[in-house]
Amino acid sequence: MKRGALRVLLGAAPGVGKTYTMLEEGRRLKGEGKDVVVAVVETHGRKGTSSMLLGLETVPRTVTVHRGVELSEMDIAAVIARRPDVALVDELAHTNAPGSQNEKRWQDVENLLDAGINVISTVNIQHIDSLTDVVEQITGAPQRETIPDSVLRSAEQIEVVDLAPQALRDRLAGGFVYPATRIDAALSNYFRLGNLTALRELALLWLADEVDSALKNYRREHGIQNKWEARERVVVALTGGPEGETLIRRGARIAARSAGGQLLAVHVSSDDGLRNANPGALLAQRRLVDSLGGSYHQVVSDDIPHGLVDFARAENATQLVIGVSRRSRLNAALTGPGIGATVIRESGDIDVHIVTHSAAGGRFALPRLGGALTLRRRMFGLLIALVGGPLVTWLLVSLRSDESITSDVLTYQLLVVVVALVGGFGPALFAALLSGLTLDYFFVEPIYTITVAEPVHLFALGLYVLNAVLVSVVVDQAARRSRAAARATGESELLATVAGSVVRGQDALQALVDRTREAFALTTVRLVVDGAVTHTAGADGDTGTEGGTGTGITRIPVGDHAELELHGGDLAASERRLLAVIAAQLDAALEYSDLAETAGEIGPLAQADRVRSALLAAVGHDLRRPLTAATAAVGGLRATDVTLSQADRDELLTTAGESLDTLSLLVTNLLDVTRLQAGALAVFLTPVDVEDIVLPAIDELGLGPDTIELDLPDATHPVTADYGLLERVIVNLLSNAVRFSPPGERVLISTSEFAGLVEIRIADRGPGVAPDRREEIFVPFQRLGDTDNLTGLGLGLALSKGFVEGMGGTLEADDTPGGGLTMVISLPAATETAATEAIPAEPSATEPTVTTTNDHETMPETTP
């Protein structure tokens, strides 16, 4: 039986229209003559979704009783018995009721597919198993219902049902997604504009990655090796040499010429790990790739050019950027075609760019000669040649005969091989020349002379020396590779130790300094930043001359403003190469530390500047009005040309008194905030029950039940706030809400808790504020046209916002569902321990209630 096909409609959040689209597709397929049934659909009471069920056959569900509650689930057996062409199954990640045939609905769908039934289903991005942690970081809500990525990727077709975030919020506010009792909390928590934007991007990126993977699988299954230029992919080959930065920038420019171009940098290392790459240069080049928006890759291959081309083909690259060889012309002539020539020959239809650079090879530079053996081994090999040569000669001369010439030559050859194995190239060459002359003098006619009578004997002697040289070269290369492998192992262990120290929570700078001293067996290592020692490892004593580069001191530059002082001996060139990597790590750690320190300094300064600007505006705006009113009233009382009645005098005195009281309170507030910004007036943050703040604020304004409606759940945590400042903020917001509310409408004060924050919401039913003007209401003393002298103290919402931010919270304006403006105060929830210590009466603090909604979205519940 042919397995059915799965088609999945993927959404970024509830309400984007997945179920509606699924039913719409079902109606279309039915109109084309397909046998379509609704296996299970959750309408959530949405009229538009319910209307799409008309004309579609629905398979009755099975009912399960769990703990006295009836739960209905899809009847798998009934759907399979019905055997439709297409079954519509909503909410693929749904968890079935206990006692059902399968635990998860996606398992039910697998049964339908195995029965040969095609399925159209829906799922939200937050339910994909690999993305649940990312979604929780974005929204603050954990996801309890998930679906394995492999199940979703096995679908024949995945479509994103997309809706702009603001359009989804408008649908939600209009009551098209959730009931009215849940709209306010949903808009304020899970359905924030930033959350929806991030979820939408996550869904689109996941689908784009899935499309890219599907394209690669298709090309692999069909054996397609040619490039498909769906978009420009530029691969830059890095050798670890100084030319890497030039190649990366050239590749970035090539990728930038086409929209959506992608930059990939790759370093191909040999499988023995012995290529002479500079780790410090590779680290710096990796950081450059990251800063240019590209990606860095490491590939291991025993054939560098073929490994590079294979990587480019696997990534569907369209361009390949390599550098001109750093080898000299003589070296290239001796060793044959290099990596560049092989890459060009094997690249096929991938365009190859060969970029020249300052490190390209010179014209006639000779290859460097040098051994990799230790001095001790070379001296020991030379000693064997000096001692073994005479001993072998004495033995062979004493046993000489007319037929022994062949065995004599082989004996000397054995001596040269032994010397080559022990001492390498130099001693082997010396032993070959010495033994060759000895052979000629003692064993080749005419004996006891160095004259060669037969030319063939001279040719044989040359071959004899050549064999000795070849053996010594092989031994030397083997020793070089052995030392390089040991060095690479040591470097890897050091870098792993450094990374492990940082991961375990140690200070990055101190960990790098400590590991450097240990790795190179130094007495002292110091990190000097701008002339001052910031981190030290080892003894405090200085082993060299003050301020110079005396014996025992090595100074390694770290960026532009620091250096690493190494005390305890000079370092070899190979060790300095590894130190370049450590210096690059130190430079990155210093840069991160500076950025963190700067960010920490900017925050308080920016906040202080905002409040200071508000105070300056206050002095120029609100001081003038009560002062003018008081001056006018007193001037009227002092007038001698006008006769005032007693009632007029009382009214002027009242006006003067009210204006002076307002002016006094305004000046008090200004002084308080000034002291706060100057550090003279501290903010006393303590755990405070919201109810203990709201009720006194209502009493202060003289408001009653006909004006105020309260929704303060007992389970809400206390907030961390300054009691006096928070009370003044709530008084100000309440007075504004009451003033703008229509007659007969009550102001709602409610609280909710989400992701460690407690929100105090003051909602009115007034005219509200247009979204594009909401920032203006927080500009000091902007009342959107309100200019009377009875509108409060004059500090406005800007001062309230400054108070809330000073307590570590936020003050924002939002729509009231059904019309009006809601002011939202968000403050950190106090911990249970702190609340118990600060409040005499034990609070009923509990963890935030989490519920699974009908749409199977995990959201904090707000008690109505």
Residues 6+ apart with CB under 8 A from 738: 701, 703, 707, 747, 764
End-to-end CA distance of the chain: 53
| 761 DSSP β-pair partners | 750, 824
Please count the structural domains in the chain.
5
Residue 789 scores a pLDDT above 70: no
In percent, the amount of the chain with pLDDT more than 70 equals: 74
Q: Are residues 502 and 456 in the same domain?
A: no
Residue 670 located in a structural domain: no
Q: Are residues 468 and 574 in the same domain?
A: no
More confident residue, 17 or 642: 17
Residue 857 scores a pLDDT above 50: no
Distance of alpha carbon 305 from alpha carbon 67, whole angstroms? 67
pLDDT given at position 111: 93
Name the band, by pLDDT with cuts 50, 70 and 90, for residue 607: low
Amino acid at 297: H
For residues 206-236, b (16+ Cβ closer than 10 Å) or e, as one string?
bbeebeeeeeeeebeeeeeeebeeeebbbbb
The two structure tokens encoding residue 823 = 């002011």
Residue 38 scores a pLDDT above 70: yes
Residue 646 located in a structural domain: no
Residue 227 located in a structural domain: no
Residue pLDDT, tens place only, 192-214? 888 888 888 888 877 766 665 55
Q: Are residues 340 and 390 in the same domain?
A: no
Amino acid at 815: D
Q: Are residues 138 and 272 in the same domain?
A: no
Residue 590 scores a pLDDT above 90: no
Helix 723-740 and helix 796-806: axis angle, to 10°? 150
Q: Are residues 198 and 89 in the same domain?
A: yes
Residue 574 scores a pLDDT above 80: no
Q: CA torsion, points 683, 688, 692, 695, in degrees to nearest 10?
A: 60
pLDDT given at position 40: 92
> Which of 557, 582, 607 is a domain's end point?
582
- 150 CB-contact burial (10 Å; exposed 0-12 / middle 13-18 / buried 19+): exposed
pLDDT given at position 833: 41
Residue 676 located in a structural domain: no
By DSSP bridging, strand 686-688 and strand 719-721 are antiparallel
Domain that includes residue 467, residue range: 375-479
Distance of alpha carbon 254 from alpha carbon 247, whole angstroms? 11
Long-range contacts of 352-355 (CB under 8 A, 24+ apart): 352/320, 352/321, 352/322, 353/250, 353/254, 353/319, 353/320, 353/321, 353/322, 354/322, 354/323, 354/324, 355/243, 355/246, 355/247, 355/250, 355/321, 355/322, 355/323, 355/324
More confident residue, 490 or 27: 27
Distance of alpha carbon 105 from alpha carbon 95, whole angstroms? 6
Q: Are residues 342 and 399 in the same domain?
A: no
More confident residue, 644 or 363: 644
Residue 392 located in a structural domain: yes
More confident residue, 812 or 359: 812
Residues 6+ apart with CB under 8 A from 372: 424, 476, 477, 479, 480, 483
More confident residue, 172 or 680: 172
**Shortest CA distance to 119 belongs to which of 80, 85, 154?**
85
Distance of alpha carbon 754 from alpha carbon 505, whole angstroms? 30
Residue pLDDT, tens place only, 119-168? 999 999 888 888 887 888 788 777 778 888 888 888 888 888 888 888 88
Q: Are residues 43 and 178 in the same domain?
A: yes
Q: Does residue 580 contact residue 277 with C-beta atoms inside 8 Å?
A: no
Q: Are residues 140 and 176 in the same domain?
A: yes
Amino acid at 823: M
Q: Are residues 763 and 856 in the same domain?
A: yes
Residue 549 scores a pLDDT above 70: no
Residue pLDDT, tens place only, 813-822? 888 887 888 9
Residue 402 scores a pLDDT above 80: no
Looking up residue 810, the CATH number of its domain turns out to be 3.30.565.10
**Mean pLDDT, all residues of the chain:** 76
Residue 57 scores a pLDDT above 70: yes
Q: Are residues 210 and 150 in the same domain?
A: yes
Q: Are residues 237 and 175 in the same domain?
A: no
The C-alpha angle with vertex 429 and arms to 425 and 434, in degrees rounded to 5, equals 150
> Which of 182, 200, 221 is a domain's end point?
221
Residue pLDDT, tens place only, 280-337? 778 888 888 888 888 888 877 778 888 888 888 878 788 899 888 755 554 554 445 5
The two structure tokens encoding residue 410 = 């082989």
Q: Are residues 420 and 524 in the same domain?
A: no
Distance of alpha carbon 833 from alpha carbon 831, whole angstroms? 5
Distance of alpha carbon 540 from alpha carbon 523, whole angstroms? 9
Give the DSSP letter string of 472-503: HHHHHHHHHHHHHHHHHHHHHHHHHHHHHHHH
> Which of 191, 221, 251 is a domain's end point?
221
Residue 632 located in a structural domain: no
Q: Tell me the range of 78-82, 188-192, 795-799 where mean pLDDT is highest.
A: 78-82
Residue 664 located in a structural domain: no
Residue 596 located in a structural domain: no
Q: Does residue 39 contact residue 88 with C-beta atoms inside 8 Å?
A: yes
pLDDT given at position 211: 61
Give the C-alpha distances (Å, rounded to integers) separating 172 from 165, 235, 459, 568, 811.
11, 46, 97, 70, 22
Residue pLDDT, tens place only, 4-36? 999 999 998 888 889 999 999 999 999 999 999
Sign of CA dihedral 120, 123, 128, 134: positive
